[in-house]
Amino acid sequence: MTRKEALALVWKHTHRDYKGKLADGTKAIMTFRRGTVLVPLEGLTDEEIQHALPREKRTPTPAQLAALKAFAAKYGHTWRTKLNDAWLLGRDASEPGGHLLRQLRNTLGPSWLASFKLETMRGD
């Protein structure tokens, strides 16, 4: 999905109470940056876009994919089970890139992990 398509989805799925148009007609939505702020739609970071997308349209960020790849390399063919257990028991925080693994759990969830294919990120 292109950035333009993602921004269109963010705009479409953001509740009207959290979006509007600035005086110059620029579309803007509320987001959290050390406090709640109104940000022009084009000014959203990739992470903010991912967070604002509907859950079924979200994908891991490059940093999250790198942490996942490192975790998979460390644990081999049992990586998925190990990560699910770590999420369940709160042990993911002690892993390298643990905060990124936790973000995956919080934004995409264990059901995403069950259907995710490691092969989809082997192209880099």
What pLDDT sits at residue 107? 82
What pLDDT sits at residue 120? 65
82 with 98, same domain: the answer is yes
Final residue of a structural domain among 18, 37, 57: 57
The domain total for the chain is: 2
The boundaries of the domain holding residue 47 are 3-57
Q: Are 52 and 29 in contact, with CB atoms under 8 Å apart? A: yes
The partner residues of 40 in beta bridges, in order of sequence, read 28
114 with 66, same domain: the answer is yes
66 with 116, same domain: the answer is yes
Lowest mean pLDDT, pick from 19-33, 74-88, 104-118 = 104-118
- Please give the helix or strand (H or E) that residue 72 lies within, else none: helix 62-75
pLDDT(91) > 70:
yes
The two three-digit tokens of residue 60, written as one number: 């891991």
49 with 69, same domain: the answer is no
Predicted model pTM = 0.62
Final residue of a structural domain among 21, 41, 57: 57
